[in-house]
Structure 1
Amino acid sequence: MKKIGLLGGTFDPPHLGHLLIAEEVYATLGLDEIWFIPSYEPPHKQKSGTRAEHRVEMVEAAIKDNPNFSINTVEIERRGKSYTIDTVKTLKTRYPAYSFYFIIGGDMVEYLPKWHRIEELADLVQFVGVKREDYQFQTQFPVLEVSIPRVDVSSTMIRERIAGGRSVRYLIPDEVFYVIKEYHLYETE
């Protein structure tokens, strides 16, 4: 049975923190692959101002050199708000022999009780919480813990830096920067 890590997000843009999380979970849990799943419209935050096809292209650029990473566009294809339960059910139907590990930030672990249909979701997927060494999870749900080095980078910070004309070198892969430049993304946030 293949073990697949799922890393969802808007990836607006994808940055080195996303890649570090994926690599640490992949290596620590001995997974077969990590699938990056860009959302079309996340249910918990404002819709991205960046077109879905540009975010997909940025993810493809970010992961192209890692044979263990791939992109799955199930949420982009669905359109509209994407709830994790719908995504996981679709993936379980398409890949019944795979087991899925849904990767979430340590800060999201405490919000699991508020997730849409969480009881059903917890039966379908293994949650993986990424955390700093000194952080302890508080949850009633089974969550595997993976410690990651702390990297203070966010998509919001990168968008703001680009809009302000500041460098984002060493925060995003060069290939992602080239996509951003090609489409003039984030220049006037």
Structure 2
Amino acid sequence: MKKVGILGGTFDPPHYGHLLIANEVLSALQLDEIWFMPNHEPPHKKKSEYIKNEDRLQMLEHAIQGNEAFKIETIELHRQGPSYTVDTMKMINAEYSGHQFFFIIGADMIEYLPKWHEIDELVNLVQFVGVDRPNYSHQTEYPVLYVEVPALDVSSSMIRERMKTGKTVRYLLPDPVIQFIEERHLYGT
């Protein structure tokens, strides 16, 4: 049975924090692959209205290049309306019946689990894996494996703000992603 971690997010833009989390979970749980799953419309926040899905997907492709264990799953990009994880996992489990899935979430989402859509059904479809995030607790009544990840306090919103104000983002995201952003004049560059 193939063991696959799923890291969902807007990846707006994808950065070294995402890659670090994916790599640490891959290693700690001895998974076969990590699938990066960009959201179309996450139910808990609004994605940047000016960044097209195609651009986010291309940035993600640039970010993961060179790591054979990192793949992209686009199932949520093809759906309309809010992307509920329970619906996504039903579809993925049906399509990949020989796989065991581990859904990676940050400590901010661990605290939010009681509010997830159909959480009681979802915990039967996927194993949650929690990773630390500064200023959040990882205590929950739901079954969550915990993986320690070195602290890297970086976020996509912080990167967007730095780019908008002309600050450097070097060493916060891969150079091919920075180059793509600059070529496309994204985030005010």
Normalised-by-shorter TM-score class: over 0.9
Gaps of 5+ in 2: none
Task: Judge conservation of contact 1:133–1:147 (CA < 8 Å) in 2.
Answer: no
- Counterpart residue identity of residue 14, structure 2: P
Change (3 A) 1:22 1:61: same
Classify the secondary structure of the residue corresponding to 2:121: helix
Which has the larger displacement, 81-90 or 118-127?
Answer: 81-90
Cα drift, residue 156 of structure 1: 0.6
- Counterpart residue identity of residue 94, structure 2: T
Cα drift, residue 111 of structure 1: 1.2
- Write the distance in 2 (CA, Å) between the matches of 1:126 and 1:36: 16
- Write the distance in 2 (CA, Å) between the matches of 1:133 and 1:147: 12
Classify the secondary structure of the residue corresponding to 2:78: helix
Q: Which residue of structure 1 aligns with residue 148 of structure 2?
A: 147
- Write the distance in 1 (CA, Å) between the matches of 2:55 and 2:135: 36
- Counterpart residue identity of residue 110, structure 1: E
TM-score, normalised on structure 2?
A: 0.95
Task: Judge conservation of contact 2:101–2:126 (CA < 8 Å) in 1.
Answer: yes
Task: Judge conservation of contact 1:16–1:173 (CA < 8 Å) in 2.
Answer: yes
Q: Which residue of structure 2 aligns with residue 8 of structure 1?
A: 8
Classify the secondary structure of the residue corresponding to 1:148: coil
Cα drift, residue 135 of structure 1: 7.2
Q: Which residue of structure 2 aligns with residue 75 of structure 1?
A: 76
Alpha-carbon RMSD: 1.6
Q: Which residue of structure 2 aligns with residue 24 of structure 1?
A: 24
- Counterpart residue identity of residue 53, structure 1: E
| Deviation sequence 1:135-167 (CA, Å, 0-9, x none) | 752211110000011101110111111111111
Gaps of 5+ in 1: none
Count of residues paired in the alignment: 188
- Counterpart residue identity of residue 120, structure 1: E
Task: Judge conservation of contact 1:8–1:36 (CA < 8 Å) in 2.
Answer: yes
Q: Which residue of structure 1 aligns with residue 43 of structure 2?
A: 43
- Counterpart residue identity of residue 34, structure 1: I
Classify the secondary structure of the residue corresponding to 2:186: coil
Q: Which residue of structure 2 aligns with residue 178 of structure 1?
A: 179
Q: Which residue of structure 2 aligns with residue 56 of structure 1?
A: 57
Note if 1:122 corresponds to 2:123: yes
Task: Judge conservation of contact 2:106–2:133 (CA < 8 Å) in 1.
Answer: no
Q: Structure 1 residue runs of 4+, over 3 Å off? A: 132-136
Classify the secondary structure of the residue corresponding to 2:55: helix
Change (3 A) 1:81 1:134: closer
Note if 1:92 corresponds to 2:96: no
TM-score, normalised on structure 1?
A: 0.95
- Write the distance in 2 (CA, Å) between the matches of 1:172 and 1:134: 22
